[in-house]
Amino acid sequence: MSGWTLKRFWTDVAVVAEGDGFAVTLDGRPVRTPAKAHLVVPTRAFAEEIGREWAAQEGTVDPNAMPATRLANAAIDKVSTSRVEVVDMLASYGASDLLCYRAEGPEALVERQRAGWDPLLAWSAEALGADLATGRGVMPVEQADGDLARLRELIDEMDPFTLAAFHDLVALSGSLVLAFAVAQGRLSALEAWQLSRIDENYQIEEWGEDEEAAEVASLRRAAFLDAARFHALLTPRSPRA
C-alpha cells in the first residue's frame, strides 16, 4: 500500500459474501488490492475488521492506520504468488529459533531464559513434534532434520492469509516456537511478546532504556499484537465464520 494518495470518497462501508469468502465494498464498489485484485478474505470476522479500518478513515486515507488491510493485500498480492518461498523462509527460523540460543552469562539472565523458554521447547516437542536443541553463545545450534521438516510441514498447511499473519508473528519475535504457541493458543500474544524480549528487558534493567529503541520496540509490540489478533480472526469457527 506504499505510494497511496487517496481521499475518502465513500459514505457506506459493507461486508458482503463473495464466493467462499467475504469482500468489503465502499458504496457498493469492491475494495481492490494495490495489484488490482478483488480483496476477498476467508472469514467474515476479518472482513469486518478491514471494513472498520475503511470506515474510520477521514480525509486522506492513511495506510499506516490500516494493518488488517495491509495484511490482506500482502496475502493476496505477495504470499499467494510466492507461497513456497514464504514457507521456506519461515521454516528457516527453525534452525535459528530465538529460544534455542542461550546467554553464557550472567547467571540471572541464564536462569530467566531457562525459566521462560524451556517450558515452550518442551511444549514444542510434545505438541508440534519438534524437539529442538539449545546451546549457549553465538555458535550455530544443529537441529535434527526431522524436527525442521516437521516445522515446515506445519507451516505449509497454512492458507495465504494465516501464513501472512504467522509471518509477522515469527519475524517480530524471532521464534517459530513462540509464533506457533500463539497460533495454537498455548500463549497469549502479550505473554509471547514478553518472552521474546527477555534479553532486551534484562539489558534495560541493567543499563536503562534508550528512547529511540523504546519507540521502535513499542511499534513492534503493537504489530505483533495485531498479527496475533488477525490470525485469530482468520481462523474459521464455522463454515461461514
> What integer is the mean pLDDT of 122-143?
96
- For residue 111, the domain's CATH number is 1.10.3580.10
- CA torsion 157-159-165-171 (nearest 10°) is 50
Range of the domain at 136: 83-233
Same domain, 58 and 95: no
What is the distance of C-alpha 231 from the center of its chain? 7
Q: Does one domain contain both 227 and 113?
A: yes
Would residue 128 count as lying in a domain? yes
Spatial neighbors of 24 by CB under 8 A, at least 6 apart, are 13, 14, 15, 16, 30, 31, 39, 47, 50, 51, 54
Q: Which of 22, 39, 65 is the last residue of a domain?
A: 65
Task: Using the CB atoms, write b or e for 96-134: b if 16+ within 10 Å.
Answer: ebbbbbbbeeeeebeebbeebbeebbebbeeebebebee
CA distance 223 to 195: 16
pLDDT digits (tens, 9 = 90+) for 81-132: 999 999 999 999 999 999 999 999 999 999 999 999 999 999 999 999 999 9
pLDDT value for 202: 97
Q: Please indicate whether residue 7 or residue 160 has the higher confidence score (pLDDT).
A: 160
